[in-house]
Structure formats: C-alpha cells, structure tokens
Chains A and B, each alone.
Chain A
Amino acid sequence: MIRFSSVNKWYGRDHHVLKNINLEVKQGEVVVVCGPSGSGKSTLIRTINQLEPINDGEINVGGVIVNNPKTDINKLRADVGFVFQHFNLYPHLSVLDNITLAPMQVKKMSREAAEQLAMELLERVGLANKKHAYPANLSGGQQQRVAIARGLAMQPKVMLFDEPTSALDPEMIGEVLAVMQQLAESGMTMMVVTHEMGFAREVADRVLFLAEGEILEDTTPEAFFTAPQTDRARQFLRQILSPMHG
C-alpha cells in the first residue's frame, strides 16, 4: 500500500532529516512510528501525502508515485486521510460542514449524500448530537474525533495520524484512541506517530523506531517492547515507560 524506496530528505543544506528510508506498509496493516523528538517521524508521514516534499528516492502509495511531478497530488491526497496533532478543524464551519466540505468540493458529492455520509461517520465517532456545534465549543477529544471523521469522509485507502493525542488532556486521550482502535479493527491501513505505547502494544501490527532520521527498528510490538535490538531504542523505552527515572 505504501512503499518508501531509498528516500532522503534534507532541511536546508545540512539537516539530513530522513536518511535512506526503506519501508513497506501492507494493506490493512497498522504501523506505529515512535522515536525521540526531532527524529523525523512527523516528517516521515508528512512525506506520504507530500505535505513535505522529498529530495531523493521514491514513495509509492497504492501504485501512485507521490514524488512524480506528473502525479495529480490532490487526487492522491484525497485517498490519504491525515489527522493532525492540533486537529485543524475549520473554526468558521459547523461540525457537519467541516466533514462535508471536502467530499462536496473534491469529490463533487451532492450535499445530501455528503451529509448522510457525515452523519454515519459522526455516529461512528459518537458525536452525532454535535453536528451543529462549532469546533470551539467542543473539547479537544471531541475535536479530534471530528477530525478523524473528516478524514474518513473522503473514504481514504490509508489514514495517517501525526501525534493525534499529544495536544489532549489526559482524560480525553482514551476516547480518541478508542476510535482509532475501532478503525484499525475495521481493516484500515494506518500509520500512527504516537507516544502512546499502550496503543502500540495492543493495536499495532508493527512498530517503527526512528532516531536522527533513520529507521533503527522495524519489528512487532512484542519484539520491540521485550527485546529491542539497539541501545538507542532501549534508552528511549526506559525514558518513555518510566519518565520519573528518565
């Protein structure tokens, strides 16, 4: 579904942010990407829908080469859902209009069809009763669930999550992870940048560990948590699992 072949990216001349990334994500697979801050994990998933362009190599999503200048990038993006750390809902639109905007604009769906779809998705994320609310009147957890519904409304082949729970109060993290878990169980192909190791352990098929732009580990959650291969990963796990003793 997603394939990285020898992908490199630099910020400016000196900052080599992605180093020779080779990676394959199969259909229906859930891959958690973790690593210390600045390791390039957000950049990695942002290259998949070209929110960040790459300098070298090739990214293939469902048979489409992302970094080919001839590729219709908007068409590709419509097939790749993206959920941001800060939700990025449109504050001037109601919850319902936030979700129907892209299906109507990009897929030229009728308002009726788009609203019906939006209501189904809102049911799924448990917010059907909030359809007329504005984003500012929702809690962070609710906003992120709307953002997930908004992404799903394009009926994407892949969903990408960029630290979806990092901006949330602790008591709201669970509701968002529950929606994501349900989505994973429905067979969606997902890449999730997160520090939620519980989610990684229970939901992920694979864990990628990135440090300084390199994939240091690419393995099952089981293997990653019980027998990490690199010192860097062991150190990271020590810090993240017991922050008090970091």
Chain B
Amino acid sequence: MHYNWDWGVFFHSTGIGSEIYLDWFVKGLGWTIALSLAGWVIALLLGTVLGVMRTLPGKVLPRIAAVYVEIFRNIPLLVQLFVWYFIVPDLLPEGLQTWFKQDLNPATSAFISVVLCLGLFTAARVCEQVRTGIQALPKGQTNAAYALGLRIPQIYKEVLLPQAFRIIIPPLTSEFLNIFKNSSVASLIGLMELLAQTKQTAEFTANLFEAFTLATIIYFVLNMGLMLFMRWVEKRVRVPGLIALGGK
C-alpha cells in the first residue's frame, strides 16, 4: 500500500476563520464528554430507582421496572436514537413541537435526543446491576435493619445501597465506559461529536487514516483514563470483608 502519511494535517487551516483541524477534534471531544456525562447522570439516577423497584416487596413496582428493562434492553441503541430524534418530537403537543424543531438550535435538539436515548438505554443496564448488587446481600442485613425499626427507604439508603454499589463498581465501570463509546451514534443524526468531526476531517483533507488513527487514540486514552478513575474510586470506598459475611 502506498500511502503518504501526513501527521501535520491536524495543524492545517480548515479554511474557516483561524481554525485548524485539531480544533475540530477538541470540539468533538467536548461534545462526546458532554453527551456521555449528561446521559450517565440520567442512567445512574433512573437505573438506581429502577433497580430498587425491582427488589421491593409487592408486585406492581418490580413488574414496571422489569418491563422497562426488557423494552430498553431489547431494542438496538440506534433504533432507539431514531425514535427519540425523528418520531418522539412529532408526538409532542403543538407548542413543544415547534419549540423543539424550530426554536432550538439544531445541535441542542440533537443533544437532547441523544442524552435521553443514552440515559434511558443505559438506565436499563444499570438497573439490572443495582438489582444484582442488592440481591447479593445476605437477607440478614435487611432483617437486622427491620428489627431495629428502620423503614424501607432508610434501609435502602443506609444499609443496602451503600453495600450494593461497592459490589457493583466493576460492572458499573463497564457501563460508564460503554456510554462514552455509545455516544458515537450521535454522529448519525448530525451532532458534531468526536466521530462526526473525524469523518468530516477525513472528507475535507482526504487524510482518512490520520483522522481515524487520532480518533482511535482519543477514544482509547479517554476510556483508559475513566477506567483508572473508577479503579481509584473503588479503592477509596473499599471496606474490609464486605461480601464475606453470611447470615439469614
């Protein structure tokens, strides 16, 4: 293969103001991080609520959460994004619809759609992990809390969730990394996050290999950094012998 590598391309002017191509990657990375973090906040909050619902006594709430999980887990992410971006806005009441489609900056409406999509999709997966974490705890933990007169919300807040979260940090880390990788679907509805900027650079410069190599490195370094961060969190909150205790 004869290919003239030109790593200097990232410092060439894009022809738009004083921008160079590297600026596009920086902007793209900014969108990727914003999308992922906003989506993660939704995923973590909603996923925790759903995970708790799945473990509550009674039938209605656990079932609602289970249905949610099945719906959001069994439909491809990309299909969900198209639904949120192309279909849901049309179902909104008139006023909201005009606001979403016309008043909002197109990037903002795309951003909202992607954040909702990533957040709700990932919430289903977080839900299952929270549920597993809670169910892994010995029944005696709940019984001891009941015996002391604690109410169900207090039991979750003080006893079950602090332990469950410590147990599920490793799988939760995977979800956290996944949401960053999944955020690249945003490029398909024209949001200029990292992948979209990469494609655009490749088209403008014809330096396809350099552009995708740089994108690969950025994704890799970003995810390595996140993983190391989560490892640090895991170490910080570690307590001795957490799941070694049995009992009924």
A contacts, CB < 8 Å to B = 49, 51, 74-82, 84-92, 101-102, 105-106, 134-137, 147, 150-151, 154
Please, which residue of chain A has its CB at the minimum distance from the CB of B149?
A78
Residues of B within 8 A of A78 (CB): 148-149
In the bound complex, CA of A111 to CA of B241 (Å): 26
Q: Does B158 contact A (CB under 8 A)?
A: yes
Do A154 and B148 contact each other (CB < 8 Å), given the known contacts A51-B143, A84-B140?
yes
Q: Does B150 reach chain A (CB closer than 8 Å)?
A: yes
A residues within 8 A CB of B159?
90, 101
Q: Which B residues, 109 to 163, have Cβ-Cβ distances below 8 Å to chain A?
A: 138, 140-141, 143-144, 146-151, 154, 158-159, 162-163
Whether the pair A88, B241 counts as a contact (CB closer than 8 A) is no
B158 proximity list for chain A (CB < 8 A): 101, 105
**Residue contacts A-B, CB under 8 angstroms, 20 given:** A49-B147, A77-B146, A79-B149, A80-B147, A82-B147, A84-B140, A84-B144, A85-B248, A86-B138, A86-B248, A88-B144, A90-B144, A91-B163, A91-B244, A91-B245, A92-B242, A106-B149, A134-B240, A136-B244, A154-B148
Query: Contact between A74 and B150 (Cβ–Cβ < 8 Å)?
Result: yes
With contact pairs A88-B140, A134-B240 given, residues A51 and B248 touching in the complex (Cβ less than 8 Å): no
A-B contact count (CB 8 A): 97
A49-B147, A92-B239 given; 5 more Cβ-contact pairs under 8 Å: A82-B144, A84-B143, A91-B240, A92-B242, A101-B148
Interface size class of B (residues with CB under 8 A): 20 to 34
Hey, which bits of chain B sit against chain A, CB under 8 A? 138, 140-141, 143-144, 146-151, 154, 158-159, 162-163, 166, 239-248
Q: Which residues of B contact A134 (CB under 8 A)?
A: 239-241
Contacts of A86 in B (CB 8 A): 138, 140, 245-248
* A85-B163 CB under 8 A given contacts A78-B148, A102-B148, A102-B149: no
Assess whether A88 is in contact with B148, with CB atoms less than 8 Å apart: no
List the 6 shortest-distance A-B pairs measured between CB atoms, nearest first.
Answer: A136-B241, A86-B247, A78-B149, A88-B144, A82-B147, A102-B148
Q: Is the CB of A51 within 8 A of B151?
A: no
Min distance, Cβ A243 to any Cβ of chain B, angstroms = 24
- In the complex the two chains form, what is the Cα distance from A134 to B240 in whole Å? 7
Q: Which of A77, A86, A101, A105 has the most chain B CB atoms inside 10 A of its CB?
A: A105
CB distance from A51 to the nearest CB of B (A): 6
- A91 touching B149 in the complex, CB below 8 Å, given contacts A84-B144, A101-B158, A105-B154: no
Contacts A134-B241, A135-B241, A137-B240 known; A88 to B141 CB distance under 8 Å?
Answer: yes
Which of B150, B241, B243 makes the CB contact (< 8 A) with A102? Answer: B150
Bound-state CA distance A51–B241 (Å) is 26
Complex CA gap A90/B148 in Å reads: 12
* Interface-central residue, A77, A79, A150, by most chain B CB under 10 Å: A77
Which B residues touch A135, using CB under 8 A? 241, 245
Q: How far is the CA of A81 from the CA of B144 in the complex (A)?
A: 10
- For A75, the chain B residues whose CB sits under 8 A away are 149
